[in-house]
């Protein structure tokens, strides 16, 4: 799993393989099933994206999530909410500028400021 650092602060997870992607999609599934999903206003097209998953199994949902940046961001946000702390020896901390397009990076920075997103915390050594 990767942890994306924005201005040196950890905010989001990014999966590095199929199993990690599956774990993130399970967080979305749990939120929908448990009726605890609250879509942030920043995700204006999230409802449309979520409808792409309607009636799909987990295996069918994986390629849909991989192809939709809104669903990826939503899964990452929910996963971060379920895992607010991380062990730096078990994840790769990477600068978000190296992972995202300049437009996506700028948009995420604006959303963090606008919504006061909470950073992830490192587990003590």
Is residue 46's pLDDT more than 70?
yes
DSSP SS3 for 57: coil
DSSP SS3 for 45: coil
DSSP H or E segment with residue 2? strand 2-6
Residue 115's pLDDT band (cuts 50, 70, 90): confident
**What value, to the nearest 5°, has the Cα angle with vertex 81 and ends 71 and 103?**
45
Residue 121's pLDDT band (cuts 50, 70, 90): very high
Structure tokens at 56: 């799909």
Residue 23, domain extent = 2-122
Distances (CA, A) of 52 to 20, 84, 92, 101: 21, 28, 30, 24
Distances (CA, A) of 93 to 2, 3, 12, 77, 83: 6, 5, 10, 17, 15
Mean of pLDDT values over 113-121: 85
Compute how many other C-beta atoms are within 10 angstroms of the C-beta atom of residue 109.
Answer: 14
**Number of structural domains the chain divides into:** 1
Read off the DSSP letter of residue 53. Answer: T
> What pTM did the predictor assign?
0.78
Structure tokens at 99: 């992972």
**What integer best gives the mean pLDDT of the chain?**
85
Contacts of 8 (CB under 8 A, 6+ apart): none
Q: Exposed, middle or buried, 22 (CB in 10 Å: 0-12/13-18/19+)?
A: middle
pLDDT tens sequence across 21-44: 999 888 888 877 777 777 666 566
């Amino acid at each position: 799993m990767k942890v994306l650092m924005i201005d040196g602060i950890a905010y989001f997870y990014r999966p590095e393989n199929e199993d990690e992607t599956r774990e993130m999609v399970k967080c979305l599934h749990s939120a929908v099933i448990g009726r605890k999903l609250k879509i942030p206003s920043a995700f204006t097209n999230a409802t449309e994206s979520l409808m792409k998953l309607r009636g799909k199994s987990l295996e069918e949902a994986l390629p849909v999530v991989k192809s939709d940046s809104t669903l990826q961001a939503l899964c990452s946000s929910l996963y971060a909410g379920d895992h607010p702390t991380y062990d730096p020896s078990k994840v790769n901390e990477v600068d978000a500028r190296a992972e995202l397009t300049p437009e996506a990076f700028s948009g995420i920075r604006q959303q963090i400021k606008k919504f006061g997103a909470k950073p992830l915390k490192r587990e003590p050594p």
